Amino acid sequence: MGQGTPETLNIDIYIAQDMIQRPRGTRDFGPEEMEKRRWLEGVMRSTARGFGFGEVATPTFEHTELFALKSGPNIVDEIYAFQDKGGRDISLRPELTAPVIRFFVNDLSNTPRPLKVFYIGPCFRYERPQSGRYREFHQFGVELIGTKTPESDAEVIGLAARIMEAIGLKEFTIRIGHIGILRKMLSDAGLDPESSAAVLQKLDKKLYEEARPMMQAVGMEDDQIGSIFDLTEVCGEVSVLDEMEGEAIDHLKGVLDVLSSYGLENVQVDLGVVRGLDYYTGIVFEVEAPSLGAEKQVCGGGSYSLSELFGGERVFSTGFAIGFDRVLLALENEGLEIKFEGLDAFVIPVKDAQRIKAFEIVSMLRRSGVRADVDLMRRSLGKNFKYADSVGAKYAVIVGEKELDQDSVTVRDMGSGEQKLVSLQALAEFFI
């Protein structure tokens, strides 16, 4: 088939019309974006390590049952679930807490406690995509496994706050509550765990008028319902707890006491924090970045016990997950600028005769740790300068016949245009 025949033209048109797009709610990341993301990951990783946490990784997909057991109806509705070729029910993970606890039950239950782990990786939820809400997104999270003291909870919240500081997020608030208080009120009023979970899902979204008939249906009186609604509105300084008592309140006060030693100013008590996931039993907390508008929750966490559901003994843990993508958006809204590190040197042979020598030089520079690239398209000197400029190379290394006669090359500062002769022996050092 010759060029320009109707057949080839048809193929061209076919390709143009049906360009394959990425799935809804997913994103591609170019080199500059990835540089930012890797930087952010690096800060989070080293901050978590600095608190004594070690990194773990689990599979991207798990048996569906792992998430169906206790994550709550919101998550289960949003799961990407399918049957594999062996007929097994498999789900892409919507979060990493259940997988990490499964890992703990399978392999890590004999390690000294507390076990402090962190993770970073993609999660999948079939949600309605919008700014800050994706179907594939990334979480950076930690789990502190095997303890339920107030100081363990404070350690986790303190780390979340420290990470926000370390990445340079200026505006954020941490709201802390205790889900045990609401759970106890609902069970004292006669709700079974299933009805209680359904009501809590409504309270999480402050959908009081949807929660009310559910509570009335199980025989709750209006004043009981009213006092639960009032409790979810208790919010403010630590002093809002002064007149309150009970085991959960004492625990919460204990957490806040330890946190006060961190000198955090943006911590608020909020007994209305419910969380979308079902497995929390104790303190619950959320971090918000107001610059994000509707999807402002950049981190959520709390204490829970899941291991007994996965065949292990009952073990209490506390953790959080940061919405990595959201936190990056919040930083960008606050004007974060990460300088894209371009090349140190772009090596250009002046003529064909110097091509092999140019490769020798770029190879020597790369071995010495210089970020270097070389002309691969046999372009003219002028076009190579343009390309070097467009990829942000700081210097061009011009490999010409005359310079090579003196065992040297010409180094051109791409910013000022200044040029100087540098001997091959001193070239690597010139860049370091």
Interface with ligand HAM by CB under 6 A: which range of 61-69, 135-143, 188-196, 263-271? 135-143
Nearer to ligand HAM, 141 or 146 (CB): 141
Query: Which of 285, 316, 320, 385 is in the footprint of ligand HAM by CB under 6 A?
Result: 320
The least distance separating ligand HAM from the CB of residue 224, rounded to whole angstroms, comes to: 29
Helical axes 222-231 vs 208-217, angle rounded to 10°: 140
Q: Starting from the edge strand earliest in sequence, which strands make up the sheet with 372-374, in order?
A: 372-374, 345-349, 395-399, 408-413, 419-423
Consecutive H or E run containing 68: helix 64-68
Q: Which residues of 145-168 are buried (b: 16+ CB within 10 A; e: fewer)?
A: bbbbebebbbbbbbbbbbbbeebe
Within a 13 Å sphere around the CA of 385, how many CA atoms are in the beta-carbon half?
12
95 is a contact residue toward ligand HAM (CB under 6 A): yes
72 is a contact residue toward ligand HAM (CB under 6 A): no
The least distance separating ligand HAM from the CB of residue 325, rounded to whole angstroms, comes to: 5
The least distance separating ligand HAM from the CB of residue 95, rounded to whole angstroms, comes to: 3
Nearer to ligand HAM, 327 or 361 (CB): 327
Site string (247-286) toward ligand HAM, x via CB under 6 A? -----------------------------xx---------
Query: Which of 169, 273, 299, 411 is in the footprint of ligand HAM by CB under 6 A?
Result: 299
CA angle 27, 319, 133 (to 5 degrees): 25
Determine the residue with CB nearest ligand HAM: 323
114 is a contact residue toward ligand HAM (CB under 6 A): no
Q: Are strands 136-145 and 115-124 parallel, antiparallel or unpaired?
A: antiparallel
* Range 355-414, binding ligand HAM (CB under 6 A): none
The least distance separating ligand HAM from the CB of residue 94, rounded to whole angstroms, comes to: 7
Distances (CA, A) of 25 to 41, 135, 136, 212, 387: 22, 5, 6, 34, 34
Query: Which of 32, 33, 35, 127 is in the footprint of ligand HAM by CB under 6 A?
Result: 127
Query: Which of 62, 153, 278, 325 is in the footprint of ligand HAM by CB under 6 A?
Result: 325
Query: Which of 125, 148, 212, 251 is in the footprint of ligand HAM by CB under 6 A?
Result: 125
Rounded to an integer, what distance in angstroms lies between the CA atom of residue 407 and that of residue 424? 6
Query: Which of 211, 249, 289, 321 is in the footprint of ligand HAM by CB under 6 A?
Result: 321
CA 370, chain centre distance (Å):
31
298 is a contact residue toward ligand HAM (CB under 6 A): yes
Number of Cβ within 10 Å of residue 337's Cβ equals 8
Whether the ω angle into residue 114 lies within 30 degrees of 0, i.e. cis, is: yes
User: Is residue 128 within 8 Å of residue 232, measured between CB atoms?
Assistant: no
Rounded to an integer, what distance in angstroms lies between the CA atom of residue 292 and that of residue 140? 18
The least distance separating ligand HAM from the CB of residue 4, rounded to whole angstroms, comes to: 47
Nearer to ligand HAM, 175 or 212 (CB): 175
Which residues partner with 116 through β-bridges?
144
* Range 43-62, binding ligand HAM (CB under 6 A): none
Query: Which of 53, 103, 119, 137 is in the footprint of ligand HAM by CB under 6 A?
Result: 137
The least distance separating ligand HAM from the CB of residue 263, rounded to whole angstroms, comes to: 24
CA 202, chain centre distance (Å):
26
Nearer to ligand HAM, 143 or 344 (CB): 143
Q: What is the DSSP string of 69-117?
A: TTS-HHHHHT--EEE-TTS-EEEE-S-SHHHHHHHIIIIITTS-SSEEE
At 264, list the tokens: 């955090």
The least distance separating ligand HAM from the CB of residue 153, rounded to whole angstroms, comes to: 11
Nearer to ligand HAM, 200 or 427 (CB): 200
333 is a contact residue toward ligand HAM (CB under 6 A): no
431 is a contact residue toward ligand HAM (CB under 6 A): no
| Contact positions vs ligand HAM (CB under 6 A) | 95, 97, 125, 127, 132-134, 137, 139, 141, 143, 276-277, 297-302, 319-321, 323, 325-326
